[in-house]
Structure 1
Amino acid sequence: MTRTTSEDATIIKRGSLSSVWKTESGYATLGIFANIAIVLAVTLSVYLSGGSSAIGSKVLSGTCAASFIVAGLYLLTIYRSYYSSKPIVRSCKIASFLNGFLGAGLFGLLWNRLLTKSKSGDSAGVLGAIALLLWAAYIVFNIYTITNYQPKPITSQTDSRLYSDGSYQRMDIIYDGYAYTDDTTGATFDVPSGWVEDERSGGVVFTSIDDTAKVWFLEPYDIWNNLDNKDSISRDAINQEIYAEDNFAGLSSEYLADCKDEKVSSETIGSYDYFVVTGSGYTKGGTKAQMKYCTHIENGYAYQWVFFKYADSKSQDRASDYIAMIESVKY
């Protein structure tokens, strides 16, 4: 017969989980993987539902912060009860799983180790207080990082596109506004925030980061230089006043197919007069779109702006950004 000591009797009387503790490694490992799986699932669900990587990062940080808070409460309540006479959880398997799940690796291993070695809950309380302080610092750091994030200004095509299998994806950056200068004529204008610049032959294209609209600033056309009689006319004589709206009729057909609602008018935008062509139809790529084409002629150059708004888009209207670009221009 095994002799029962007074210490054994005390442990039995207390009925604490720590007195009979045995780490169930399989359950602890399962808990760790469950923690990782949930964090990844929450973040991936954001991406798959159309969210950006910035939103996904915020969700990931928020999920981690929430799990830290839950883990701290677990540590100071349920875990600490494992050392008492009335443990809330009485199964080593369940406790091992919870330690792995809420401790997420290192902390879970420490908690299991404490149960193996310690007969007091005091060390759990100290560890819990330290862990909560660390997690509070982590949360504050993430909040500071998100609220003080400085968006990256766009500088080149490689900043705006990620190429993969012949296609592209928009990088998740909130682009700052900046000033654009045409190298040929010296014309300058402001590009509002939220537009991606794509240099290409024939001009420069700006695409909204939500892919709902495009602004095409065509390479300024040198009318004077292409005249047969340019020796008999000065460059500054080629201006807005020598043209009429009729000169721009039918212009929509160069960019839109099946356009039946073309309108030509004259407008003053910002400091300059423009011939304006509007209409709707289909782009060469087969996308239904609305177009606005503005032309200003000065000092022998034709400055042309083309705006496409995709008709099926449900996002915000970017036409105001297009007008803001033209209003800011200095020829």
Structure 2
Amino acid sequence: MAESRARADAQALVARFARMFGALADSVERVVRGKRDKVELALVCLLSEGHLLVEDVPGVGKTTLARALSASVEASWTRVQFTPDLLPGDITGVSIFNQGTGAFEFHPGPIFANLVVADEINRGSPKTQSALLEVMEERRVTVEGVPHQVPRPFMVIATQNPVDMDGTYPLPEAQLDRFLMRISMGYPDHRSEIEVLAGAPSGAVLDTLPAVAGRDDVAGMIDFAGRLHVAPSLYDYLVRVVAATRTHQDVRLGASPRASLALLRAARVRAAAAGRSFVVPDDVKALAVPVLAHRIIVTPEAELRGRDGAEVVTEVLSAVSVPQTAGV
């Protein structure tokens, strides 16, 4: 009796998670038309306590996705426009001497928000980009030797233009590894673009988009997803997938252990969003490319042949055997 009641309670919590996830996705999709898969990946990233890198050409809705996600969650958010002259202190904040008190006072920068939109991050200098390394990993900023915690939940949603465009600086490997996912928006389909044009004269929906979830709701969803059941065979499968990226013949640098943890967190969120209380291999396979591809550096020879990390991950998924019993 007690066991069946506990199972029913757990299923009710999963169902509530799935409903909230769907409501958030519906809200963002009111603005980002025809990109349900990208919207859901962004939400998986948020609820995995990860950071999202959105890469594509200008004008396809990278910043709109970030702002719509921020508006759908009733939490603090800020936007930083990266430019070549942006300084690290413009992001983290600075200590200013107060003549009245005779002491230095810390003035927090825009990084102290629940959702931080880093627009065109690769237009900032490498020195400024490095200011995000600590906070994206440890959720704190150290200024003049004093650590300052950022609020929870905390997520950096960075947009970047393709690296071959003028005035851009490639993100270093250490920073790319701190992004849980990298996605590309792509152009909208014909019908979605018509809907965007038809709605343009009435004004931006984004300005009046209501919040669907609060800060505590998101924190609760994060904690719940982190407790979802993962079978031992699933741990083994996930590690074998990540390890295979390190031994692939076209790879110079494979995915790190941080990538394994990121893929596990994301798979748990995807399972909960689907209304399941356990992770299955399909969760890992569906998220492997956006979570792993940007962490992989192919060899110069493979790069000359047009190979990239996404192709390597796809080949790895085909080669690694899937466990037959990976459920409850």
Q: Which protein has the larger Cα radius of gyration, Structure 1 or Structure 2?
A: 1
Task: Say which structure, 1 or 2, has more relative contact order (CA 8 Å, 6+ apart).
Answer: 2
TM-score of the pair, normalised by structure 2: 0.23
Q: Which has the higher helix share?
A: 2
TM (normalized to structure 1)?
A: 0.22
